[in-house]
Amino acid sequence: MLAIQGSAKRRVQACINCHGPGGSGEPPAYPYLAGLDAKYIAAALQAWKDGTRTNDTGQQMLGIARALTLEDVAAVADYYASLPPPKPSPLDIVQAPAAR
């Protein structure tokens, strides 16, 4: 439910809002989650919760992770680990600026 609907009560948006349907990601800004190891996902969420992971410039994951219980973290991690990973992104997804 958290992955697809989020939780208004906890003020947690759905994971799919940023990470895309089925955890496919929204490159290059939002990484995919589908098919990643559940322990990795859980560890990443815990690191945001603890404040030891800071690679989210908007700090959205910090607030989201802190609102999750241990059971929530395990459920979200298991859900995304159960999904097939997305196909690779095109090589030209990030383009160099045009020459002046």
Per-residue pLDDT, 80: 97
Where are any strands of DSSP class E within the chain?
none
Answer whether residue 71 shows pLDDT above 90: yes
Express as a percent the part of the chain with pLDDT over 90.
70
Compute how many other C-beta atoms are within 10 angstroms of the C-beta atom of residue 69. Answer: 9
**CATH 1.10.760.10 given to domain 33-82:** yes
